[in-house]
Amino acid sequence: MDIWIIFIIIYTILVSFFETSRKKAAEKSSIFSVLYLVTLIALILSVFISPDFYQAPLSAVISIGAKSIIVVFAWFFGLYALSKLPISTYSIVHSSRIVFAVILSVIIFSEPLSTEKIIGIILIIAGIVLANYNPKEKKKKKKAYSYLPIILLLVACVLTAVSEILDKALMRELSVGQMQTWFLFFSAIYFRIILLIKREKVNYKLITTNYWIPLSSVFLVSADRFLFYANKDPGSEVSIMVLFKQLSVILLIIMGKIFFKEKNIVKKLLCSLLIIAGVAVLFI
């Protein structure tokens, strides 16, 4: 087995733990405090393992600063949705970012919209819709249910897709450490500014009292490292990487059952297989 495949499998596992720990952290602390502290700790970790971060070209650093604004909004919308939705539902809806990435590639890069891509998109959307469709719900629950978290999650998926497209261009002139460190640097600054605007005090003791925060930082840095190294491998194949990434949907559904006692797990697992089939049609 090629080393980059091992890297992407490890990334998939770590990013699943990252999302789970973020949700657990947000249960005990405010969303912006969690985002700021997770990013700050991750930045410190990245600086220690990225001795060449200061050698990044100024033009690239400025571009990362602009890109980070997009990611900050994506992370906020995503974590808000994650704090309100079952993590299994979140993982399934989050798969829609692949659809948005394909659509943006067609629009921006004039990539052909083949029959296979259309079928793949339909399968992914079908999996997402079926996973969230429950005709047995009581009318009271339907009236009380808010679609705001799902709408914001879809917006986060669009922003994430835009960010991933920008990454392709930025990684041409940056090392893994430079990309990660400067992104975390700007993100930490932006989240701190938001906290100042909100006049929300940062309780740094949360780093020790809410242990899910430092755990999230470790999973974030580790996951991104393996992903970047997999991308850097000249033999890596994007189609295979995208397919392996979708395994995180299955892992998060299982974690939803273990950590949050979520229901309808079997149905969601079946829907996740439909989504993975759609991804396979798209990229294989």
Q: H helices within the chain, ranges in order?
A: 3-28, 31-48, 58-84, 87-94, 96-109, 115-132, 139-144, 148-170, 176-198, 206-209, 212-232, 238-245, 247-260, 265-283
Q: How far, in Å, CA of 177 to CA of 228, rounded? A: 9
CB 282 within 8 A of CB 98: yes
The residue with tokens 């998060």 is 252
pLDDT of residue 273: 92
pLDDT of residue 161: 85
Phi, psi of 226 (to 5 degrees): -65, -35
The amino acid at residue 204 is Y
pLDDT of residue 143: 44
The residue with tokens 């590639």 is 105
pLDDT of residue 137: 57
Classified as helix, coil or strand, 48 is: helix
Tokens representing 81? 């949705």
CB 251 within 8 A of CB 19: no
Per-position b or e across 214-241, b if 16+ CB within 10 A of its CB: bbbbbbbbbbbbbbbbbbeeeebeeebb
pLDDT of residue 36: 96
Residue 4: closest CA among 269, 183, 241? 241
User: Which pairs count as long-range contacts for 200-208, CB under 8 Å and 24+ apart, including other chains?
Assistant: 200/30, 200/32, 200/33, 202/33, 202/36, 202/37, 203/29, 203/33, 204/37, 206/28, 206/29, 206/33, 206/37, 207/37, 207/41
pLDDT of residue 283: 74
pLDDT of residue 230: 84
pTM of the model: 0.86
Structure letter (DSSP) for residue 171:
T
Phi, psi of 95 (to 5 degrees): -65, -15
Q: Which residues of the chain have pLDDT under 70?
A: 1, 109, 135-145, 238-239, 284
pLDDT of residue 34: 95
pLDDT of residue 145: 47
pLDDT of residue 135: 66
Per-position b or e across 119-158, b if 16+ CB within 10 A of its CB: ebbebbbebbebbeeeeeeeeeeeeeeeeebbebbbbbbb
pLDDT of residue 105: 78
pLDDT of residue 46: 96
CB 160 within 8 A of CB 74: yes
Q: Is 57 left (phi over 0), alpha (psi -120 to 50) or beta?
A: beta
Classified as helix, coil or strand, 172 is: coil
